[in-house]
Every structure is written in C-alpha cells, then in structure tokens.
Amino acid sequence: MEKGKGIMGSGRRWAVDFSDNSTAPSSRDIPDPPGFTRASVDQDDSTVSRQKKDAESNWKAQKAWEVAQAPFKNLLMMGFMMWMAGNTVHLFSIGITFSALWQPISALQGVGKVFEPYKDNKVDLLGPKLLFIALNLGGLALGVWKLNTLGLLPTHASDWVSSLPPAQEVEYSGGGIPL
C-alpha cells in the first residue's frame, strides 16, 4: 500500500465511502413497523418553527421568574448586613440603611426595563412582575424598620414637640414688693 492511500484508495488516508453500491436489500425495501410513519420523521418547517417558538417562550417565562426571585437574595443579604451594623447611630449603620432603602426604590423605578427582554405574546409577565414588586417592597419595609430601630423616624410624641404651640400661662406670680 502506498503512503497516503488508505482504505478507499483516494487522497485521504482515513476516508471511508458510505455510499451503498451493493446489491443487498437496503433499509428502504423493508416495510415500516406498525405505528411508524415517515411523515413524523419528515416534519414540515412550520411545526419545527412552532416548537422552537414554544421552547423560546418557555425559556423566557422561566428566566422572567428567575429575575423576579432575584430580590429575595438581596433581601436576605441586606437583612444580615443591617443586623451586623447594630442599633446604634453611626456612619456604617446609616450607610447600610440608606442603601437598603435606595436599592428597592431604584429597582421599582425600572420594573419595565428589567422585564423588557422577556416580553412575548405567549409569556405572561404579570406574576413575575408582581413578585418582583412585592419582594422589593419587602426590602423597602426592611429599610424603614431599620430606620425605626435606629430612632431616625419620628414615631413618638416627643418628636413633634417643636410643632406644638406653647402652653398658656395659668397663673402669674410676681415678686414680694407691691407697687
């Protein structure tokens, strides 16, 4: 055998010719088994494209739910950070608290942009959007709770003393010398 000449004798050493030149009966001569039709194998393009669109809409729905559940992780992390910051008013605890307030507010402002890639006629985004909004409102409530524990919310009567009118004098007393 010459160098470079393989099984086929062509220019490629490991090339194999799969064309059927034999006189043996081929698989086309054997009848199909009961229940099998060639039409199921040779599906038309509309069925394949419909299946692709269905698969794409299922993927979009799944990703929309994943995006909607993402604030839950942030909620747990922010809760832990606020617990670690303590209940005293200092720079770190105030920074964490305002971060906990700012993140949900900015996320609620951009709900439409967050779910824009998943818009489709077949995908219902109402449930994921409501979950996203609810989780962000939970994060906002966590931030307001932290403001209250720090004493930065005016929730006591003594916080509003400056807005009360001065009390009227009930009696007047003077010195001991009559004039």
**Against a cut of 0.75, is the pTM above it?**
no
Return the structure tokens found at 157. 């009567």
Q: Which of 13-27, 57-71, 149-163 has the lowest mean pLDDT?
A: 13-27
Question: Is the pLDDT reported for residue 94 higher than 50?
Answer: yes
| Residue ranges of domains in the chain | 71-155
- Top-confidence residue, 171 or 152: 152
The mean of the pLDDT values for the chain is: 83
Confidence at residue 11, expressed as pLDDT on a 0 to 100 scale = 61
34: confidence class by pLDDT, cuts 50, 70, 90: confident
Confidence at residue 123, expressed as pLDDT on a 0 to 100 scale = 86
- Mean pLDDT to the nearest integer, 109-136: 92
Question: Is the pLDDT reported for residue 118 higher than 50?
Answer: yes
Give me the torsion for CA of 23, 26, 28, 30, rounded to 10°. Answer: 110
6: confidence class by pLDDT, cuts 50, 70, 90: very low
98 contacts: CB under 8 Å, gap ≥ 6: 143
pLDDT digits over 63-78, tens only? Answer: 999 999 999 999 999 9
Q: Residue 159, exposed/middle/buried by CB under 10 A (0-12, 13-18, 19+)?
A: exposed
Q: Which of 28-32, 72-76, 82-86, 114-118 has the lowest mean pLDDT?
A: 28-32
**Percent of the chain residues topping a pLDDT of 70:** 80
Confidence at residue 21, expressed as pLDDT on a 0 to 100 scale = 63
Rounded distance, CA 146 to CA 106, Å? 19
129: confidence class by pLDDT, cuts 50, 70, 90: very high
> In the chain, what is the straight-line distance between the N-terminal and C-terminal CA atoms, in Å?
144
